[in-house]
């Protein structure tokens, strides 16, 4: 039976949410209901939703629990950050026309070769998806070809992001060391501190989220999606049927990494900084918790989980910052024990029970 991209009711909900996200929040901001400072904050949540969506594609549908997706997110963010640094020019503290301030401070004499080309937005946008994609392809090809899976794959993905974090902390790597990249001025000629630019970045993030959702939905609703689900549930049987499990998993993993890179690129200009802490293994674990809370294998659940957990983090760290990690851990344990299908799964189960309890006459 042919699987549709979305059912009619799904398209109606999608359209309503799209209109609300693109036009509703800016309208509320213009009316003074949503304050100006909340726009980049909501935009950050939207970027996190894209990141959660990317992990759900490989974990929820292919059974690949990656605890290193923060690495792809950070690489996309650094690619965008390098472009933003090149746009500063003589407006930096040291006023050097080509070298970022941290390179002048560290007595660098010339721009490293891997910084060349980042003065072009088109080149930077290409690197946002190409760098995470190439890394995911090489890593995934070696891992999947060797049939590394389960907890062992999760461990080596976590080791990958930890190794990258240590590397980017080094000043001689040319990425700002511990401080990272910051003090951005403009993007495509627009002042990043201007209200209109922040609204534009927010809208761009929402559009990217909608596109990412449709892309992921297209993949999971296709024949490849059926293969990915079969891989998740019984990989050996899929292999015996003659399917290339390595190719299917590699495609999903690379696409997921590229989406994570886009999320990082949208995140950086809205928060104004990117540093090696984004590579932290704890951050990648937090992404997995977002997906688990919302409901893995649902796409919508991943988005909802990212928004919910991000909002809770903002709210809780406002008055009890030390309690957030304990709350996050407790939330994950509670969801694992009592809501294995996540919040979306709970809502679906309640709806089905209510439908079963309705009299036949009431349904007619």
Residue of 212 and 355 predicted with greater confidence: 212
**Residues 249-297: tens digit of each pLDDT:** 999 999 999 999 999 999 999 999 999 999 998 899 999 999 999 988 8
Q: What is the mean pLDDT of residues 332-339?
A: 83
* Mean pLDDT, residues 17-40 taken together: 91
**Percentage of the chain lying above the pLDDT 90 cut:** 59
Parse the chain into domains and list their residue ranges. 8-363
- Bridge-based pairing of strands 273-274 and 190-191 is unpaired
What is the per-residue pLDDT across 61-107, written as a single tens digit (0 to 9) for each? Answer: 999 999 999 999 999 999 999 999 999 888 888 888 888 988 988 88
Confidence of residue 344 (pLDDT cuts 50, 70, 90): confident
pLDDT at site 1: 39
Beta strands in the chain (DSSP E): 181-182, 186-187, 190-191, 273-274
Average pLDDT, the chain: 89
Given a cut of 60, is residue 364 above it in pLDDT? Answer: no
Q: Is 43 a residue whose pLDDT tops 80? A: yes
Q: Is the pLDDT of residue 360 over 60?
A: no
The whole-number pLDDT of residue 108 equals: 87
Half-sphere exposure of residue 155, counting CA atoms within 13 Å on the CB side? Answer: 5
Q: Which residue has the higher pLDDT, 138 or 357?
A: 138
Residue 15 pLDDT > 60: yes
Q: In 10 A of CB 222, how many CB atoms?
A: 13
Q: What is the pLDDT of residue 94?
A: 81
The mean pLDDT value for 28-50 works out to: 93
Confidence of residue 206 (pLDDT cuts 50, 70, 90): very high
Q: Give residue-wise pLDDT tens across range 178-199.
A: 999 998 999 998 999 999 999 9
* Cβ contacts of 200 within 8 Å, gap of 6 or more: 190
Checking DSSP bridges between strand 181-182 and strand 190-191, what pairing results, if any?
unpaired
CB neighbour list of residue 273: distance below 8 Å, 6 or more residues apart: 180, 181, 182
Among residues of the chain, what percentage have pLDDT more than 70?
A: 95
Prediction pTM value:
0.93
Check residues 237 and 76 and name the one with the higher pLDDT: 76
């Amino acid at each position: 039976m042919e699987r549709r991209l979305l059912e009619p009711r799904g398209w109606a909900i999608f359209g309503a949410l799209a209109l609300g996200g693109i036009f509703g929040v800016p309208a509320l901001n213009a009316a003074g209901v949503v304050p100006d400072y909340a726009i980049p904050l909501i935009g950050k949540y939207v970027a996190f939703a894209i990141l959660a969506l990317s992990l759900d594609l490989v974990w929820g549908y292919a059974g690949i629990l990656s605890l290193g997706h923060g690495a792809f997110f950070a690489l996309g963010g650094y690619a965008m950050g390098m472009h933003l640094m090149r746009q500063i020019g003589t407006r930096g503290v040291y006023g050097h026309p080509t070298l970022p301030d941290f390179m002048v401070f560290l007595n660098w004499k010339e721009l490293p070769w891997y910084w060349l080309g980042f003065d072009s937005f088109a080149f930077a946008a290409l690197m946002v998806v190409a760098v995470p994609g190439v890394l995911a392809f090489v890593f995934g090809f070696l891992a999947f070809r060797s049939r590394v899976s389960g907890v062992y794959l999760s461990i080596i993905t976590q080791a990958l992001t930890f190794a990258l974090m240590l590397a980017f902390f080094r000043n001689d790597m040319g990425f700002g060391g511990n401080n990272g990249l910051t003090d951005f001025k403009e993007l495509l000629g627009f002042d990043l501190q201007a209200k209109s630019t922040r609204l534009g970045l927010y809208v761009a993030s929402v559009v990217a989220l909608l596109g990412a959702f449709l892309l992921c939905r297209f993949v999971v609703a296709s024949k490849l999606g059926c293969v990915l689900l079969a891989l998740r549930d019984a990989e050996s049987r899929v292999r015996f049927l003659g399917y290339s499990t390595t190719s299917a998993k590699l495609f999903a993993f690379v696409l997921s990494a590229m989406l994570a890179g886009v999320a990082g690129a949208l995140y950086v200009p809205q928060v104004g900084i990117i540093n090696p802490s984004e590579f932290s293994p704890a951050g990648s674990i937090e992404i997995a918790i977002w997906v688990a809370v919302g409901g893995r294998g649902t796409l919508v659940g991943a988005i909802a989980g990212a928004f919910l957990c991000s909002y809770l983090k903002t709210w809780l760290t406002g008055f009890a910052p030390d309690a957030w990690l304990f709350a996050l851990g407790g939330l994950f344990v509670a969801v694992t024990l009592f809501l294995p299908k996540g919040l979306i799964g709970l809502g679906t189960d309640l709806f089905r029970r209510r439908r079963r309890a309705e009299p036949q006459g009431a349904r007619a």
